[in-house]
Structure formats: C-alpha cells, structure tokens
Amino acid sequence: MKSPPHYRAPFWLPGGDLQTLYPALIARRPSVAYRRERWDTPDGDFIDLDWTAAPKAVGAPLLVLFHGLEGSSNSQYARGLMHAAVQRGWTGVVVHFRGCSGEINRLPRAYHSGDSAEIDWILRRLRAQHTGGPLFAVGISLGGNALLKWLGEQGDAAQPVVQCAAAVSAPVDLHAAGTALQQGFNMVYTKNFLATMKRKSLAKLLVHPGLFDAAALHATRTLREFDDLVTAPLHGYAGVDDYYTRASSKPHLAHITVPTLLLNARNDPFLPAAALPEQHMLSAAVTAAFPEEGGHVGFTDERGTISWLPRTVLEFVTMKC
C-alpha cells in the first residue's frame, strides 16, 4: 500500500465547521445525491441513513460508512467515499448516529465512541437487506473506533455480516486521545466539537429535564469534561475514566478476524503516535498503515484533493475481498 505523497497536510475537522477553516477544500469535495431513509431503533428511537441514488448493479458491493464525532453524510470524507463508490457502480450508505442527521433524537441517550451494540444491529439489518453482494464497512474517527470494537468483540461471528472493513483516524486509545485534545492548538478542535455538542445537549435538556446540570454543561471546556458530565452517565458508564477504558477499541484489535485496514497518520493531533497499537497487538487480519503525515482524516494527494483516501480504502476492500 502506497503512502500519501509528501505534503503539508491540513488537520481536518470531521464536523460541520470545516468550511470556515478550509473553504478551498470544501469547494473541491464531490457532489453526491442522497436518498434518506429513517429506521426505528430497537429501543424506540430512530436513526437516518443517506443512500446513494445511483442504481445498484447486480452483485455490487454495499459500502457502509459510520461517520466521526459530529459528522454526517455531508462531511468531506463521506462525500469522497460515497462518490468513489458510485463511480465503481457500488451502492453506498452513510449511517447517521443518533442526533447527527439534523434532528434531535427521541431518547436521552445519543451516541458514543464505544457503541458497538448500535453498530451490531445496524450492520446485521443491512446485511439482511443486501443479499446480492459483499458488504464493506468503513468507520471514520469515532465511527472507526466503534466499528473496530464491534469487529473485535464479534470475532468470527462478524464474518457472515461484513466481508471487509476499514477504520480511518480511529482514536483507538480514548485516554490518550482525551489528553491530546486538551493541549495546545488541539483546543481549536475541542472548541469546534463542543459548540455543537453543547447546543444539542441543551436542546435535549428541554425535552428531558434533569439529565444533567445546565450550568455545569456551560462550564465544560474540554471533551473529557463533557464526556464525564454527559456522555458517560447517559450511556451507562460510571464516569469518563470508565468510559474511555471500556469504549477504547485497542484491546479488541487482537481478536478481529475480518480483513481490516487500520489507517492512522502518525501526526494525527487526536491520537499521538506513541498511542498507536504495536504489531503484536493486532490480529493477522488487521493491516496497519501508519503514514507519517495525514493529520486527522486529512489524507490528500499531491494536487491537494481528497481522492487518496477513497481510492486507498476502496482498493483495500476490493483486494482483500
């Protein structure tokens, strides 16, 4: 697998405020036509899925994408991957985590980095629907960590569901990621995330009074503080340390049996190179690619376009499956 060419990589933001920082990159992201479908969840909530509108060829693969923190089908990496899938005659679908499709979800809970149970029922339903070809799953950042955790927990049981997988810029060690995002320039990313997360949380508080203390929410300045106040208790964790320990995918990487690409740049501001898994921590099914540059989901080619990442991911799943 070729590394991305040497370049001065932007550290991309996975959320909706990328255009403010990198308007030129946004202008170059490909156009994708989506068809939205709503699913009721097993616990009485809902999620929205955006499907590519291109007709499906007989036996064509289904490319399933799980986005990153505060991402959506409009994120630049989502459009890039879905466009590349359509160009190959595949079907693509972006699964929105709860509350990320533009509408607040019904229940107090939302989504989190270790939600492998959510990944499980979604992928199994998609597999039941898509019977004519292989299913490839890709997770970006938070979605990548949750997907890796599911793959490791399932072991051999994942093979009938997913034929190949890829995780891009996944924060496999949430303790290390949480610490990194409290330091220096990384607080720019933290502020960006917290702006939308706080808005959503306050809107949810109006519907579900008493979930957490509004004043304490306003006072949070780091993702760790937010996760301790909101994410951890709403999703069954004793606190942020319990959440980061139990939700990290790193301990599960040795148990993955589905061919999986683990793609992280060594200069990713969200996960220090020292926190990347060593080879002995990976199963034989995991292909690790740790290029020196690329930032956080910031892999571009020598022309500055986003084509390197979709091409690399799609070539991997095609080759392995």
Which tokens belong to 253?
């990487």
In a domain, 221, yes or no: no
Q: What is the pLDDT of residue 4?
A: 54
pLDDT in tens, 285-295: 999 999 999 99
Residue 300 has, within 13 A of its CA and on its CB side, a CA count of: 18
Which structural domain range is residue 309 located in? 18-173+249-320
In a domain, 157, yes or no: yes
What gap in Å lies between CA 236 and CA 162, rounded to an integer? 27
Q: What is the pLDDT of residue 304?
A: 74
Known catalytic membership, residue 141: yes
**pLDDT greater than 90 at residue 85:** yes
In a domain, 131, yes or no: yes
**pLDDT greater than 70 at residue 9:** no
Q: At 23, which CATH number?
A: 3.40.50.1820
In a domain, 78, yes or no: yes
In a domain, 135, yes or no: yes
Mean pLDDT taken over the chain: 91
When divided into structural domains, the chain yields a total of: 1
Known catalytic membership, residue 235: no
In a domain, 98, yes or no: yes
Catalytic residue of the set 48, 115, 227, 268: 268
**Residue 250: C-alpha distances to residues 115, 172, 229, 317 (Å):** 14, 5, 24, 21
CA proximity to 226, closest of 242, 212, 206: 212
What gap in Å lies between CA 287 and CA 291, rounded to an integer? 13
Higher pLDDT pick, 17 / 237: 237
**pLDDT greater than 50 at residue 22:** no
Residue 47, phi then psi, degrees to nearest 5: -135, 155
DSSP state at residue 279: G
Catalytic residue of the set 75, 113, 141, 249: 141
Known catalytic membership, residue 296: yes
Q: What is the pLDDT of residue 28?
A: 61
| Helices 76-87/308-320 angle, 10° precision | 50
pLDDT in tens, 90-126: 999 999 999 999 999 999 999 999 999 999 999 999 9
In a domain, 186, yes or no: no
**pLDDT greater than 60 at residue 133:** yes
pLDDT band, residue 20 (cuts 50/70/90): very low
In a domain, 297, yes or no: yes
